[in-house]
Chain A
Amino acid sequence: MEWLSKALLSLFLLMSAHMVSAQDEPIVVLNETDTIRPTKYIAPLTEKPKLALFQGLTLSADILGPIIYLFSDYGSTEAALRLNLKNTYFPIVEVGFGKCKSTDYETDITYSTSAPFFRAGIDFNILKNKLMDNRLYVGARYGISSFKFDMSGPVMTDPIWGGSSPYNYRDAASTSSWLEVVFGAQVKVWRNFHMGWSVRYKQELHIGQPSYAKPYYIPGYGTTTDTSCWGGTYNLIFDLNWGKKKHGKQSPSDSPSATKTE
């Protein structure tokens, strides 16, 4: 009796499966003269291309800083290495060298320093089409510089009690840090060579200073005439992924493939 019930159940399941497949099967009427030709699968237009996470590296150099140094008392040169994640997020490390030699002609106080600086942060590509070679981005940076500076001025004379001493300090040490908000753009010039600019709003976080002087210029930040300042770069940019857009690994079912009609 048990074998009979199993046999009936199996028959019922088999019939059910056949009915379901029969309902899904398209009704195709083929004439004998018809030939079966392969058709190319066309992905729906709404499907977004999948990009691999790692899209390459970008190396850039600033040319604005050295030009500024030609026409002023201070300037810097810097290079940056930027990681491209999905053409959207760009973690970046910037390394540079700032230099200043300034004399105020009203007070006769001279300030000089030259030291490296470091920045780290991330840019975000705000263009809707992430596959474009041109980019518009906003970002943020944390900057730090550990440096030594010299400052000297005229002899300081006590006007009431008398006495005098020179104002002359060498190798005063400072470690200073700041934050930057970045807005920038870059355009493709030729193959993997781009040019671009950035405007930066900088805010002091910490200014390390001895009692006798506040550093006038911080490499990578600029002058400390206020607790915040504007800056900018003009960059020559090289994409190290040689301009290729890498697509993500897709499952066989997702990949474009030829199908045959039956």
Chain B
Amino acid sequence: MKRLLGILSIMALVACSSNNCPLENKVTCNYYFYDREGVAVLFPDTLTVRTLLPGEKTVYIYRKLGSATVTSDYPDTTYTNAGYSETITKARRDTILVNNATKRSSIMVPMSYYNKADTLVFTYDGISRRDTVIVTHDSYPHVELPECGTHFFHNLRSIRATDAAIDHIEIVNPLVNNEKKENVKIYLNGVAE
């Protein structure tokens, strides 16, 4: 009887003291790549995703006849010394969310807490054009357990994209939380061989 009570006591302590927070605690909107026919593919190019931020920033543009135009967030004297002309202008602030992703079946992109819409700019190494994806959403804070901290969850409302490399885009699961489920399907131009 004493042994039984001991086992039950240990079970009770263990059952009520375990940490049940998910190991991967980030909330991201998960985009998966498909060809135009809906076959899952690895994205064949190198992809960088930026998002536009509120406010403006100063941009330095360096041009030279016969050379590629260089854009920088900071002044660079190496270009002016090499004969480039410098143009200082204002541009929308942005930041990189996914940097040089290659051969990926999906990308995980964070979402804004307090904006109604996020603008994502997809740039590719192999294509000179860029794609712009605009996703509208509602956001709300959420606490699953106090020990897991606070998170912002999102409900996707709509999504649209330009057509440089994207054939069409659709929402498959509007709830964006930390469960890592597929939220958006990106159908790329062309058909996988």
| Proximity bits, B1-35, A CB within 8 Å = 1, else 0 | 00000001001100110111000000000000000
**A261 contacts the other chain (CB 8 A):** no
Cβ-defined contact, A107 with B147, below 8 A: yes
B145 within 8 A of A: yes
In contact, A223 and B114 (Cβ under 8 angstroms): no
* CB nearest neighbor in A for B140: A211
A226 contacts across to B, CB distance below 8 A: 15, 18, 20
Given contacts A111-B146, A158-B112, A158-B152, 6 further A-B contacts (CB under 8 A): A156-B141, A160-B53, A160-B97, A160-B110, A228-B15, A230-B12
Query: Which residues in A have their C-beta under 8 angstroms from that of B153?
Result: 211
User: With a CB–CB cut-off of 8 A, which chain B residues contact A208?
Assistant: none
Q: How far is the CA of A12 from the CA of B74 in the complex (A)?
A: 134
**Inter-subunit contact A109/B150 (CB<8 Å):** yes
Q: Does A212 contact B (CB under 8 A)?
A: yes
Residue A216 is within 8 A (CB to CB) of chain B in the complex: yes
Most buried by A among B118, B142, B146, B147: B146
Instruction: Check A214 against B140 for contact (C-beta < 8 Å).
Output: no
Instruction: Say yes or no: is B66 at the interface (Cβ < 8 Å to chain A).
Output: no
- Chain A residues whose CB sits within 8 angstroms of the CB of B150 once the complex forms: 107, 109, 153-154, 156, 167
Q: Which residues of A have CB within 8 Å of B152? A: 156, 158
* 25 contacting pairs across A/B (C-beta < 8 A): A102-B146, A107-B147, A109-B146, A109-B150, A110-B146, A153-B150, A156-B113, A156-B152, A158-B113, A161-B51, A161-B53, A161-B114, A161-B115, A163-B114, A211-B142, A211-B153, A212-B140, A213-B142, A213-B143, A214-B145, A216-B145, A226-B18, A228-B15, A230-B11, A232-B12
Enumerate the 3 nearest inter-chain pairs by beta-carbon distance, A residue then B residue, closest first.
A158-B113, A161-B112, A104-B146
Q: B173 near A: Cβ within 8 Å?
A: no
Interface size on B, residues (CB 8 A): 32
Per-residue CB contact flags for chain A residues 104-145 toward chain B (1 = under 8 Å, else 0) read 101101110000000000000000000000000000000000
Q: A49 interface residue, CB < 8 Å from B?
A: no
B12 to chain A, nearest CB (A): 4
Q: How far is the CA of A80 from the CA of B2 in the complex (A)?
A: 27
Within 8 A of A (CB), among B108-164: 110, 112-115, 118, 140-150, 152-153
Instruction: Tell me if A236 is interfacial: C-beta within 8 Å of chain B.
Output: no
Residues of A within 8 A of B16 (CB): 222-223, 225, 229-230
Interface residues of A in 220-239 (CB under 8 A from B): 222-226, 228-232
CB distance from B139 to the nearest CB of A (A): 9
Q: Are A161 and B143 in contact (CB under 8 A)?
A: no
B interface residues with partner A (beta carbon < 8 Å): 8, 11-12, 15-16, 18-20, 51, 53-54, 95, 97, 110, 112-115, 118, 140-150, 152-153
Which one of B97, B114, B144 contacts A158 once the chains associate, using CB atoms below 8 Å? B114
CA distance in complex: A133, B148 (Å): 48
Complex Cα–Cα for A163 and B152 (A): 13
- Residues of chain A within 8 A of B11, CB atoms compared: 230
Q: Say yes or no: B114 contacts A165, CB within 8 Å.
A: yes
Nearest B-chain residue to A109, judged by Cβ:
B146
Of chain B, the residue at the smallest CB distance from A103 is B146
A103 CB contacts on chain B under 8 angstroms: 146
Smallest Cβ-Cβ distance to A162: which chain B residue = B54
A162 contacts B53, C-beta separation under 8 Å: yes
Contacts of B118 in A (CB 8 A): 161
| Chain A residues whose CB sits within 8 angstroms of the CB of B12 once the complex forms | 199, 230-232
Bound CA–CA A163/B51 (angstroms)? 16
Query: From residue A159, how far is it (CB to closest CB) to chain B in Å?
Result: 8
The 8 Å CB contact of B113, one of A161, A214, A223, A230, is A161
Query: Is A151 close to B, CB under 8 A?
Result: yes
Closest CB-CB distance, B4 to chain A, in whole Å?
A: 10
